[in-house]
């Protein structure tokens, strides 16, 4: 049976935003902008995760899933939330996790949401997914893949969403579905495209190619929000009570609030440093960032992590990349 595991990792942008919000001072006026972006992206990710439940009802041995593929094409990046590759056709999913009343308006190509007494306009996901399909087609041609039909769907994952469309908006009826209709839609497409075009070997090649072309959205978030890196809160956060800064006493990190002690709490702090400030750090920088009292103490902690380093004793830079979670 041909089956490659459907794996999904938290997007690095979400990881960075959640680390940034912890280390930006309460007084920083941009906090709400960061929080807004974090909520928006987390909710989108939640929508994508919620689909796993419905993927279980699709034929396991025929589909290869790719998540969050972002590719540079014609000078711009285009991002596809999820791609389903089968031997007979490919489906691009644009996933929207929006609650409320959602109205697809073709006349002005917009999605209008009414929620908690507020009306908001979003760019039309049907047009979005059609553009993605255009770019993906070009890429498949460029790399000489057999011309396999590419379908695109907009999936509304929020269970309480109410979906409507302007009466003559045919594409909305064809392309927009709720999660629970995915199974039926897949069945319809399987009947529409009975011919097997891609051999298993080619599917493997194609997923390899798309994974290689993929380049995750990974900006310097301090630059993005124009926050000075010197402003960020230093220190080692307590893993239990979350917001207290721990003190290093006799080889242990101690939380004076909840009395937790840890030998490894500095690792998370150094990960934060790598995600937010720099993937390289000196002894001096570590000492001030971790709120340590002596250079020897710092040296001892850094050396115990067995990090690769460059430079000689005085100007040694430790490389933090190996502390970051893999597979972004
Ligand atoms: Zn604590």
Q: What is the pLDDT of residues 193-240, one digit of tens each?
A: 999 999 999 999 999 999 999 999 999 999 999 999 999 999 999 999
Q: What is the DSSP letter of 237?
A: B
Give the whole-angstrom CA distance, residue 170 versus residue 114.
22
Give the whole-angstrom CA distance, residue 78 versus residue 65.
18
Orientation of helix 12-23 relative to helix 265-276, angle to 10°: 110
Task: Retrieve residue 205's tokens.
Answer: 């090649």
Confidence at 1, pLDDT banded by 50, 70, 90: very low
Q: Are 51 and 158 in contact (CB under 8 A)?
A: no
Q: What proportion of the chain, given as a percentage, has pLDDT over 70?
A: 97
User: What's the gap in Å between 236 CA and the centre of ligand 1?
Assistant: 11
User: What's the gap in Å between 166 CA and the centre of ligand 1?
Assistant: 54
User: What's the gap in Å between 227 CA and the centre of ligand 1?
Assistant: 27
The residue-averaged pLDDT of 307-321 equals: 90
User: What's the gap in Å between 271 CA and the centre of ligand 1?
Assistant: 19
User: What's the gap in Å between 257 CA and the centre of ligand 1?
Assistant: 5
The residue-averaged pLDDT of 177-186 equals: 97
Runs of H (alpha helix) within the chain: 12-23, 31-50, 52-55, 125-142, 170-175, 182-192, 200-213, 221-224, 265-276, 283-289, 295-304
Q: Are 152 and 92 in contact (CB under 8 A)?
A: yes
The pLDDT of residue 325: 67
Give the whole-angstrom CA distance, residue 266 versus residue 246.
9
* Secondary structure class of 21 (helix, strand, coil): helix
Quick: pLDDT tens for 130-152: 999 999 999 999 999 878 999 99
User: What's the gap in Å between 22 CA and the centre of ligand 1?
Assistant: 15
User: What's the gap in Å between 298 CA and the centre of ligand 1?
Assistant: 22
The pLDDT of residue 8: 81
The residue-averaged pLDDT of 301-309 equals: 93
Q: How many CA atoms lie within 13 A of 128 on its CB side?
A: 21
- Mean pLDDT of all residues belonging to the chain: 93
The residue length of the chain stands at: 328
User: What's the gap in Å between 306 CA and the centre of ligand 1?
Assistant: 27
Give the whole-angstrom CA distance, residue 24 versus residue 29.
10
- Asked if residue 269 has pLDDT above 90, the reply is yes
Residue from 95, 276, 235, 289 nearest 176 by CA: 95
User: What's the gap in Å between 281 CA and the centre of ligand 1?
Assistant: 26
* Secondary structure class of 318 (helix, strand, coil): strand
User: What's the gap in Å between 240 CA and the centre of ligand 1?
Assistant: 5
Q: Are 77 and 70 in contact (CB under 8 A)?
A: yes
User: What's the gap in Å between 259 CA and the centre of ligand 1?
Assistant: 6
């Amino acid at each position: 049976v041909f089956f490659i595991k459907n794996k999904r990792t938290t997007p690095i942008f979400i990881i960075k935003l959640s680390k940034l919000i912890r280390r930006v001072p309460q007084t920083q006026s941009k906090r709400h902008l960061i929080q807004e972006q974090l909520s928006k992206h987390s909710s989108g990710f939640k929508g994508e995760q919620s689909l796993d439940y419905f993927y279980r009802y699709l034929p396991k041995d025929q589909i290869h899933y790719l998540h969050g593929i972002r590719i540079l094409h014609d000078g711009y990046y285009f991002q596809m939330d999820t791609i389903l590759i089968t031997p007979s056709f490919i489906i691009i999913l644009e996933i929207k996790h929006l609650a409320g009343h959602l109205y697809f308006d073709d006349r002005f190509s917009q999605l209008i949401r009414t929620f908690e007494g507020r009306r908001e306009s979003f760019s039309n996901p049907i047009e979005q997914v059609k553009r993605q399909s255009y770019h993906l087609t070009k890429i498949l041609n460029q790399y000489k893949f057999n011309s396999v039909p590419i379908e695109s769907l907009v999936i509304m994952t929020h269970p309480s969403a109410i979906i409507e469309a302007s009466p003559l908006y045919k594409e909305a009826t064809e392309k927009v579905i709720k999660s629970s209709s995915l199974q039926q839609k897949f069945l319809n497409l399987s009947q529409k495209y009975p011919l097997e075009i891609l051999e298993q070997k080619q599917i493997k090649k194609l997923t390899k190619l798309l994974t290689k072309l993929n380049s995750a959205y990974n900006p310097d978030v301090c630059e993005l929000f124009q926050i000075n890196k010197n402003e960020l809160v230093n220190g080692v956060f307590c893993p239990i009570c979350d917001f207290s800064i721990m003190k290093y006493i006799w080889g242990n990190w101690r939380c004076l609030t909840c009395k937790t002690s840890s030998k490894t709490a500095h690792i998370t702090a150094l990960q934060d440093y790598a995600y937010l400030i720099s993937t390289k750090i000196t002894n001096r920088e570590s000492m001030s960032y971790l709120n340590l009292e002596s250079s020897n103490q710092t040296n001892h902690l850094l050396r115990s992590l067995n990090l690769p380093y460059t430079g000689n004793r005085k100007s040694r830079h430790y490389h933090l990349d190996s502390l970051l979670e893999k597979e972004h």
